[in-house]
Amino acid sequence: MPIEVNGKTLETDEEGYLANINDWEPGVADVMAKEDDLELTTEHWDIINFLREYYEEYQIAPAVRVLTKAVGKKLGKDKGNSKYLYGLFPYGPGKQACRYAGLPKPTGCV
C-alpha cells in the first residue's frame, strides 16, 4: 500500500508504516493523518517531533513513560500522561504517532 506524498510514491508495509524511515518528510504525517480523518495540530507535531529526535538518538521509540515525562516537562504536568496522548492519537501514541513519525512499529507484548 504505497502512499503519495508531494508527488512522490513511498512504500509502506501491510500495516501502513513507512518501509524506509529515510523516506520521511513532514508531508508523510499529514497524508497518514488525513487517511485517519485526523487533523494534525501543533500538539500532535510536538509529539511527532519528540519521537523522531528520540529515535535518532536511540534507534527505538521512547517508552510510554519516557514520552509522557518529556511531554509533562515541556507542556505542563496535566499533559504528561497516557490519557492526553490517547486523546491526540486514539490508536495509541506508541503505534499511531510512531507511524506518522515514520518510525517502525513497536513490537512485542505491547
Partner 1 sequence: MAKADFKVPELQEFIEVPLLEEGTMAHSHPFHSKPDFQEPLGYPGELVENWEEKAIEKMGDLLGKYRSFQVFLDSCVKCGACTDKCHYYLSTKDPKNMPVGRQDLLRKVYRRYFTLPGKYFPKLVGAVDLTKDVLDDWYSYFHQCSQCRRCSVFCPYGIDTAEISMAAREIMDSIGVGQKYCNEIIAKVYKIGNNLGLPGPALADTLEGLEEDVYDETGVEVKYPLDQKGADILVVTPSADFFAEPHVDGLIGYGKVFHEAGVSWTLSSKASEAANFGMFIGSYENMRRISLRIREAALELGVKRIVMGECGHAWRVAYSFLNTLAGPFDFLDPNYPVPQHILEFTYNEIQKGTLKLDKSANDDKVLTFHDSCNVARASRMGPKPGGQFEIPRAVIKAVCNNFVDMDADTIQEKSFCCGGGGGLLTDDLMELRVKGAQPRVTALKNAMDDSGVTHMAAVCAICKSQFTKVLPYYGLDMDQIVSVHQLVSEAIILTGQKSDEDEDGEDED
Active site residues: 109
Q: Is 19 in the site for partner 1 (CB under 8 A)?
A: no
* Nearest Cα to Cα of residue 67 among 110, 5, 26: 110
d(CA 98, CA 61): 7
Q: How far apart are CA 6 and CA 14, in angstroms?
A: 21
Interface with partner 1, residue 110, by CB under 8 A: yes
Pattern 25-44, partner 1, x by CB under 8 A: --------------------
CB nearer partner 1, residue 62 or residue 102:
62
Instruction: Select 12 or 25, whichever has its Cβ closest to partner 1.
Output: 12
Q: Biggest alpha carbon distance in the chain?
A: 40
Distance CA 71, CA 77 (A): 8
Q: What is the DSSP letter of 104?
A: P
Which are the contacts of 80, defined by CB distance < 8 A and separation ≥ 6?
68, 69, 71, 72, 73
- Please list every residue from 55 through 94 that binds partner 1, using CB under 8 A: 57-60, 62-66, 68-69, 77, 81-83, 86, 90-92, 94
- Binding of residue 2 to partner 1 (CB under 8 A): no
Q: Which residues bind partner 1 (CB under 8 A)?
A: 14-15, 57-60, 62-66, 68-69, 77, 81-83, 86, 90-92, 94-95, 104, 106-110
